[in-house]
Chain A
Amino acid sequence: NAGVTQTPKFQVLKTGQSMTLQCAQDMNHNSMYWYRQDPGMGLRLIYYSASEGTTDKGEVPNGYNVSRLNKREFSLRLESAAPSQTSVYFCASSEYGRTGYGYTFGSGTRLTVV
């Protein structure tokens, strides 16, 4: 099925460990995004990539890095995980179409940092 694929779906890390969350889309979208969702906080933008080769910080970028590997893939890296980074992470992509900018979200990665 066409859409946004995130891996892994679940992950438990120890404080200080590093990991990379992977995201790939097969809709030929130019723009991709990483959000985190926390109870009572809603979805907050971490980083986004308006097009291949560009990345920009969102509302909560501290502690994260991103790589837009190619048009399809946008990864999020935690260099030294902290308990405050326990969250659900969503990747999304968007493209301007007939009805405007439509967004497609992945199913999320549930990360726990202990």
Chain B
Amino acid sequence: KQEVTQIPAALSVPEGENLVLNCSFTDSAIYNLQWFRQDPGKGLTSLLLIQSSQREQTSGRLNASLDKSSGRSTLYIAASQPGDSATYLCAVREAGTALIFGKGTTLSVSS
């Protein structure tokens, strides 16, 4: 059974820092991996989607990498801002199934 783990569970940084969020999964037979953002009391917003054949995706200050063979992905946030404060969720898609989520990393960026 696929399990997705996110470390750390919570992270607090001062504004301007570069930071890395980690995601690991137990079964490397995935179709893709997706990073989401969730603000308190809100739904999920898709940030980046990496196909199993890809190594990384970039969007603005965000860069996500995927190492399928080792079962790991990282989300790099450059020059963090208070508006980046949210919970970041990693999810993988296997063949014929829906997304399987990690429990998330809650990020707090102080000004």
Contact = CB atoms under 8 A, between A and B. Distances in A.
Interface of A: 31, 33, 35, 40-45, 48, 50, 58, 90, 92, 99-108
A33 B98 contact: yes
Given A33-B98, A100-B49, A105 B103 contact: no
What DSSP secondary structure best describes chain A's contact surface?
strand
B40 to A, nearest CB: 11
Contacts of B96: 50
Contacts of B89: 42-43
Contacts of B51: 99-100
What DSSP secondary structure best describes chain B's contact surface?
strand
B103 A101 contact: no
Contacts of B91: 43
B93 interface: yes
